[in-house]
Amino acid sequence: MNTFILIVLGQIVSLFGNAALRFALPLYLLRQTGSAALYGGITALAMLPALAGMLTGGALADRCRKARLMALLDLVTAGISAAAAAGLPHLPLLPLVLTVLGSLYAIQGLYQPVVRACLPLLLNGTQLLRGNAVIQLVDTVDELLGPLLGAVLLEHLGIRGLLVLCGCCFALSAGMELCLRIPQDVPYDTKLSVRSLWADLRESAQFLTGQAAVLRLAAAMAAVNLLEVPALTVGVPVLVVQTLQKSDASLGLVQAVLSAGGILGGVLAGTIFVRYPPIRSGTPLLLALSGVCAALGLALRVSVLQFGSILVLGAVFMAVAALFNVWFFAQLQVLVPQAQLGKTTACCTVLACLTQPIGQAAYGIAFQHWAAHPADVLLAAGVLSVLVLWLLQTRRTA
């Protein structure tokens, strides 16, 4: 359990730096350009390296010593942050932001499968489910602190100062991870090569083709990442900064409240899913996400409710999304053998996330095109999500 606590502490420090930069860099670009379409496009392009990172990270998690791999990734991220801070005054803004964001997402994609693959080696039974809830909780806590403190630090330190501070966070996390001792970790003589990684990914793909239950999980997550999550991740900054003309600090507050909803979802997951087995919990959670999107679209039509509805319904959305995320990974860890857990989980996650860049780009264009009617975009997202879920359920029972 001490090793698990050390992993959690490293996660807190590292993911804070990552969340702060992922909040600050696109916001800085949005402020400089004023383009919602560019904002959505940049966040969509930055997701592509994350998907490649997930695939590679899943294979590496099954072949490398996990503690050293996590430490190496944090050290590389610290170096990228320092290099970006040094190059910011001299390099074009758009390519620099895209490069740094892409690197952050790629390394995070590498990092997360490694952390998930550690848990079954440290925990079992209900402890494993609670461990997943704790990891989800850490992620949402950092998503709370990252935007909240990131907005304040961006205002006082500037983007270069924030890059340096986050680089120090990554270096500190790497130091913690070098102290980890994970039992039954991969031995030193495990062969590692491009061919072996490719063979692992091919083996995972073959495994997935015969696992209808796992593929249904991926399809459900793909629908969420296409229709619902991007509606909030792209829509909220555009609504707060452009539609409501609020300050960066106000956007940081909104992001913090949304993350607090995610924290609530993580806390609830540790109790609800232990008391009530989550095998059949997916559909109600998906319907709840769709309903919240539609409700937010309706509430935004009333001017006095606009900012408050973003806070309240956004927090509810994040709470339900956190519950669904914990359920998703808990189901994968039950269905997938330990020997294939890292790479198969990564493959399944990538399949589920392939739709997210499409959704981010599409919502960026939608909010740009219907800038005078952003509520209609969210209402349409909720209605369309229900229709897609109904089609998936109909096909499953056919």
pLDDT per residue as tens digits for the range 94-115:
888 888 888 888 888 788 778 8
Per-residue buried b or exposed e for 261-288, using 16+ beta carbons within 10 Å of the residue's own CB: bbbbbbbbbbebbeeeebeebbeebbeb
Residue 6 buriedness (CB in 10 A; 0-12 / 13-18 / 19+): middle
Around Cβ 55, how many Cβ atoms within 10 Å?
22
* Distance of alpha carbon 398 from alpha carbon 394, whole angstroms: 6
For residue 16, what are its two tokens?
Answer: 């804070």
Within its chain, how far is the Cα of 334 from the centroid? 21
Q: pLDDT value at position 269?
A: 74
| CA atoms of 143 and 174, how far apart (whole Å) | 20
Distance CA 132, CA 144 (A): 18
* DSSP secondary structure string for all residues of 162-194: HHHHHHHHHHHHHHHHTT---TTPPPTT----H
Helices assigned H by DSSP within the chain:
2-33, 36-61, 66-87, 93-122, 126-177, 194-209, 212-227, 229-238, 248-275, 282-299, 306-335, 341-353, 355-369, 374-397
pLDDT given for residue 278 in this prediction: 47
Cα pseudo-dihedral 385, 386, 392, 397, rounded to 10 = 170
pLDDT in tens, the chain (398 residues): 478 888 888 888 888 888 888 888 887 877 777 776 777 777 777 777 877 777 777 667 767 778 888 889 999 999 999 998 888 878 888 888 888 888 888 888 788 778 877 887 777 766 777 787 788 778 767 766 777 777 778 878 888 888 999 999 999 999 888 888 877 666 544 566 667 667 766 777 777 777 777 777 778 888 888 888 888 888 888 888 888 888 777 887 887 788 788 878 877 876 666 565 544 557 788 888 888 888 888 888 888 778 888 889 989 998 888 888 888 877 777 777 766 666 677 777 777 777 887 888 888 888 888 878 888 888 888 888 888 777 766 665 55
Residues 6+ apart with CB under 8 A from 16: 142, 145, 146, 149, 166, 169
Give the separation between CA 323 and CA 250, rounded to whole angstroms.
Answer: 26
Q: What is the CATH number of the domain that holds 146?
A: 1.20.1250.20
**Coil/strand/helix, residue 124:** coil
As for how many domains the chain has, the answer is: 1
Q: Which two tokens stand for residue 396?
A: 């499953």
Is residue 204 within 8 A of residue 347, CB to CB? The reply is yes
- Write out the residue range of the structural domain in which residue 216 sits: 2-397
